Structure 1
Amino acid sequence: MYFIMYYHVPKPDKCMIDQLRKLYPGHKIILVGDTEIDYQTAVNAEIDSVIVSYGFRTVEELRSFGIAELVPSVEELSRVLLG
């Protein structure tokens, strides 16, 4: 099952992830984001994240926050998510 959910809650609060866990018990949750805050949200919620380098932050900015693995394109994101 694939779904997209947008939240307008303060990050890196993990409450949105907790809500997803309740709505979809037993499903794996992966946060796809483009900022260090998205990454920290996933860390706080103890879930996997995929951070893309073609969004809000530059590669250099993301690396400065200690994010080592970055996905450079939509095509690569599809490969990462779909295996």
Structure 2
Amino acid sequence: MTFFTFLLCLNALLILAYATLILMYQKKNLNLSIIIRVLFLTLFTLVVFAHYESEQQFIVMLCLWVIFEAFYLKKIHHAQSGK
């Protein structure tokens, strides 16, 4: 397992935890959100320097990013509509 794959799996687990917080508890965890964003920046940096094994890893990373942003924006929108 490469470093990129490890970070990608860790990021997926953190996104799953973030989605669970939003769907089950209707809470936003700012610290978890920051950690996920830092991991995405690290992954994008590794992509720039071509440290990934296949195009599939890159596609999975982009899909995870879109899923995370969808959950993040959904929660922000929900919090603003409650005011």
TM-score, structure 1 length as denominator? 0.27
Higher strand fraction (1 or 2): 1
TM-score, structure 2 length as denominator? 0.27
Instruction: Give the structure, 1 or 2, with the largest relative contact order (CA under 8 Å, sep 6 or more).
Output: 2
Higher helix fraction (1 or 2): 2
